[in-house]
Amino acid sequence: MTLNQIEIFLKTVAYKNFTKAGEDIGMTQSAVSHAIVNLEKDLGVKLFERSKKGIELTASGSEINEHMQAIYKHVHAIYESVETKVKLPKCTIRIGVFSSISSSILPKIIRTYNEIYPQVKIALFEGTDQEIIEWLDEGVVDIAFITLPNEKYYSKYVIQDEMKVILSEGHPLSRYKSVDLKQLGGEPFIMSNGGCEPFVLEILENGIQGDGGWALPEISYRVNHVSTIIQMVREALGVSIVPELSIRNEQMEGVIVKSLRPPVYRRIAIASRKVPDENPVIKTFIDKVSRAAQF
């Protein structure tokens, strides 16, 4: 059992809904559900009853909830005690970030960090995956959110983000529970230039290698903003694959969201060029982001 599982459990208890629990802690609905299933396996008991009305604690879940609340309270007290004793200089941290992170989990992290260290200013540099890597290489940013795997930089895993297929209502694939990559062969495809294009291309190319003989989707449009992609999909101009975090706060009426089969996840980490132990400002921010993922 991990601290991350405890946080997920407690948020699920509070919201009685996997999606809302995930929104609070920067996780996707599927990731929350998966974590609860693994926790139930670890403990050997069923924690929640699932029905159309929502999610309720079982008798075992109610008993365990009391212990989880106590653990969570004590661990947070430890971190808060340590953080208030760390003295940082007045300075600025430059952070490279892609839009799916800056529009989802990062604002809450920045707010809580600023409450503890108001003298530290944060400058955000939002760009594509490749731009962020270049900024980190060139020293334009001090730390950056990157996609794993990574062997070049010091990094700490933050979160996994499920890649989703988005379709217009009435699209023939909308009747399936999930979409196999080969079902997208020949479909007009709307590619995001806003950050994750290399990862999406890798997904498509790996799909071909795994099941030869089917065609790549035809890339009909390339756009920078996920809101534009959604609008174009809504008008049946094509299909797309996007990170789930990037669409969490978007208006999705008229658009169908499906998982890939098998599911594909983008693993995200926060990275710096060097081990940050000698820079307390960078170290405290990386630790804050890492803990936000654990809790």
- Whether residue 75 sits in one domain with residue 97: no
- Whether residue 178 sits in one domain with residue 215: yes
State residue 175's pLDDT score.
Answer: 95
- Whether residue 275 sits in one domain with residue 237: no
What's the total number of domains in the chain? 3
What CATH number should be reported for the domain holding residue 43?
1.10.10.10
State residue 143's pLDDT score.
Answer: 96
pLDDT digit string (tens) for the chain, length 295 residues? 887 888 889 989 988 888 888 766 667 788 888 899 999 999 999 999 987 777 899 999 999 999 999 988 887 677 666 655 667 889 999 999 998 899 888 998 999 899 889 999 999 999 998 999 999 999 999 999 999 888 889 988 888 899 999 999 999 999 999 999 889 988 999 999 877 888 898 888 876 555 555 567 889 999 989 999 999 999 999 999 999 999 988 999 999 999 999 889 888 999 999 888 778 899 999 988 877 655 5
Q: For residue 256, what are the domain limits?
A: 161-265
What CATH number should be reported for the domain holding residue 182?
3.40.190.290
- Whether residue 121 sits in one domain with residue 135: yes
Asked whether the beta carbons of 287 and 276 are under 8 A apart, the reply is: no
What CATH number should be reported for the domain holding residue 131?
3.40.190.10
Q: Hey, which bits of the chain come out as E strands? A: 48-51, 54-57, 91-97, 120-126, 143-147, 154-168, 178-180, 188-192, 218-223, 240-243, 255-261, 265-272
pLDDT tens-digit map of 223-259: 989 999 999 999 999 999 999 999 988 999 999 999 9
Distance between CA 117 and CA 119 in Å, rounded? 5
State residue 214's pLDDT score.
Answer: 59
State residue 150's pLDDT score.
Answer: 83
- Whether residue 205 sits in one domain with residue 76: no
> Cis peptide before 149, with omega less than 30 degrees from 0?
yes
- Whether residue 284 sits in one domain with residue 152: yes
- Whether residue 117 sits in one domain with residue 190: no
Asked whether the beta carbons of 226 and 192 are under 8 A apart, the reply is: yes
- Whether residue 150 sits in one domain with residue 275: yes
Query: 83, 118, 140 — which closes off a domain?
Result: 83
- Whether residue 290 sits in one domain with residue 144: yes
State residue 159's pLDDT score.
Answer: 86
Chain CA centroid to CA 140, Å: 24
Query: 83, 101, 136 — which closes off a domain?
Result: 83
Query: 83, 109, 136 — which closes off a domain?
Result: 83
- Whether residue 191 sits in one domain with residue 104: no
Distance between CA 186 and CA 208 in Å, rounded? 13
- Tracing tokens 């023939």 back to the chain, one arrives at 172
Residue 2, φ and ψ in degrees, nearest 5: -115, 165
pTM recorded for the entire structure: 0.71
pLDDT tens-digit map of 44-72: 999 999 877 778 999 999 999 999 999 88
DSSP assignment of 130-172 = HHHHHHHHHTS-SEEEEESP-SSSEEEEEEEEEEEEEEETT-G
Q: Retrieve residue 93's tokens.
A: 């941290």
- Whether residue 249 sits in one domain with residue 165: yes
- Whether residue 257 sits in one domain with residue 180: yes
